[in-house]
Structure 1
């Protein structure tokens, strides 16, 4: 073999190793993104599982507030049926709004706020909201690492050929940047 043939073979081997390495790295990052997304879904499901107990507790004190209670149930159902980050974020925003209305009702019933079950449920929901925030941050960090990798050279060449496309971020709901009003 001549020198040119050896150089060509070496280049092909180097490119093959780079391609395999890039592919394996992309698969790993893709699985990380999928795992982080499942944690968001896990925490959203946890919250959705707590909501019926909260609704039933509030129902006992505020039977005539059926519209707000129905809104929470509807929003919970939408969240359960939503697919993908954008749809989940939208359904999550609707559920947050419905829960806010339900909590305003709770403010009007001092006995409800003092109820042991209600307080325990609120503590669980608060903890779950914190877990959701952490899961969303972890997911968005994983998406950022993945999207950066598929756009970086030379991986971007292999990513496009192998079908690795960008992932969606879990974005803040509309109006989340506004400071909430607290009134006593």
Structure 2
């Protein structure tokens, strides 16, 4: 297993089999159009927003977290203690990402979800998220990004509640909450 992880770390993200994602946040931002090398992409196409357009649309903290892979301070997010029913969307492109039905208090300081909206068992193909290997702090973690625009949302860890045992630890500033209509 250790050899596999070392080999995986030496590959660029685009070389990891089954993990191909069209475009990169640093090469076009939101929905960069797919080129021939990106056939079979998992992300959806959407008009391109330039870096300056994103900087105008987002607060400095939202831009830092979603486009530069930052993290908001723990226990500071506006959605940490939100108990309203509704859907959490991507702050950059408005894709639905997480349902309030799967939100729980993990005590970690960030909003936590047991699964992404659209998950069926262990199948996440109909969700608005993708997973990427993240070795930026050394040990491998799993980054969670928006499938639509590749915004950094947070990370997922294997210490959540059943049945899948996942904890999606998501930055509030990467989300926009829309309450359920009654």
Do the two structures share a fold, i.e. TM-score over 0.5?
Answer: no
Q: Work out which structure has the larger RCO, using CA pairs closer than 8 Å and 6 or more positions apart in sequence.
A: 1
Return the index of the structure with the highest Cα Rg.
1
Give the TM bin, normalised by the shorter chain: under 0.3
TM-score (norm 1): 0.26
